[in-house]
Amino acid sequence: MGLLDHGATISSIIVPVDGRDLDVVLGYPKSSDYLRDTFYLGATLGRYAGRIDHGRFTLNGRQHQLATGDNIHCLHGGPQGFSRQFWSAEVDSDSKSATFRYQAADGEQGFPGQLTVSVRYSLRGEYGLLMEYRALSDAETIINLSNHAYFNLNGYPSEITDHSIAINADRYARLDSSDIPSGEFLDVKGSRFDFARPVLLRERIAEGGFGAEYGYDHTFALNGNRGKLAFAAAAHAPRSGLWLKVHTTQPALQFYTGEYLGSPLLQRGGLCFEAQNFPDAPNKPDFPSAVLKPGQTFAQSILYEFGFDGSFAYDSLC
């Protein structure tokens, strides 16, 4: 596994396959390339992962305007969000875990409160990676942390359309015309968002571009009572025989099929399972609260597990 202090980033995850080492996440050949990255490759997203409508929200009667850069909305914490910052790093003596820390100033990218945040990466079991997010604030603020690794279980370069996908969700968030959740949840059953059973992506993704009828960049409401690690999603690549299972404490999963990837990368060269709170939750009172108050600790976790065909059974996931 490779980690970078810039963005507390996952730069590689190596899994042995048929006597060779296969890197299953997209990355750049040089660490300096990440300074110019616009795709959030493997980065920690914050202070708020996902979109916030026009970068505005109201907290305690006060409206806050966030940085949006060239975007209409505030995306992934703004143009100088956590993915663009250098974090301090500390590696445990056993070399099986590393903790990255960052302190965001009050008003950074428009967010209120001085925020102290950490993410701890730990190797778990034979092929597992656990991410533990923690944060404290000296003033009431909003927070939503996640990771933006792009997975390709065949190795890059190749498309991810031959991957089978399962997502543990009965509902997904309806989007408006600018990709902001409307506040309405729709039933996945019988739709192109139904991944209750594994579905081959090429059967769902048409050729010719991105749109509602093509790829995915959508938020799913995960089943179960979150707050403890529980199954969220899985991917399987028959060519390599590898599978990936994602478990999380988070209430939602952003499933993204790399539609906006471009040079030097391939469109659909990787897929993302971004376990998080819902985009625009600060403006949607029916969504889980994203507010963090002084004296409270933000604590969420994500677990990636890898394995091979012989030990994979979709029926045993949930």
Nearest-angstrom CA–CA distance, 71 and 241: 39
Nearest-angstrom CA–CA distance, 213 and 118: 38
Nearest-angstrom CA–CA distance, 170 and 155: 30
Nearest-angstrom CA–CA distance, 41 and 9: 8
- Which regions in the chain score pLDDT beneath 70? 206-213, 310-318
Please tell me the predicted confidence (pLDDT) of residue 318: 44
Closest to 195 in 3D by CA, of 226, 234, 247: 234
Q: What angle do CA 81, 85, 87 make, to 5 degrees?
A: 130
Q: What's the CATH code of the domain at 158?
A: 2.70.98.10
Please tell me the predicted confidence (pLDDT) of residue 226: 78
pLDDT digits (tens, 9 = 90+) for 21-32: 999 999 999 999
Please tell me the predicted confidence (pLDDT) of residue 224: 87
Report in angstroms the alpha-carbon separations of 299 from 6, 41, 83, 144, 292.
22, 23, 19, 10, 10
**HSE-up (13 A, CA, CB side) for residue 120:** 13
Q: How many domains does the chain have?
A: 1
Closest to 3 in 3D by CA, of 105, 122, 158, 109: 122
For residue 33, give the amino acid letter: D
Q: Which domain holds residue 89?
A: 2-316
Q: Which residues contact 134 (CB under 8 A, 6 or more apart)?
A: 117, 118, 119, 120, 297, 298, 299
Please tell me the predicted confidence (pLDDT) of residue 18: 83
Predicted structure pTM score: 0.94
pLDDT digits (tens, 9 = 90+) for 228-265: 999 999 999 988 999 999 999 999 999 999 999 999 99
Residue 311 phi, psi dihedral angles, 5° rounding: -110, 20
Catalytic residue set: 148, 274
Please tell me the predicted confidence (pLDDT) of residue 314: 54
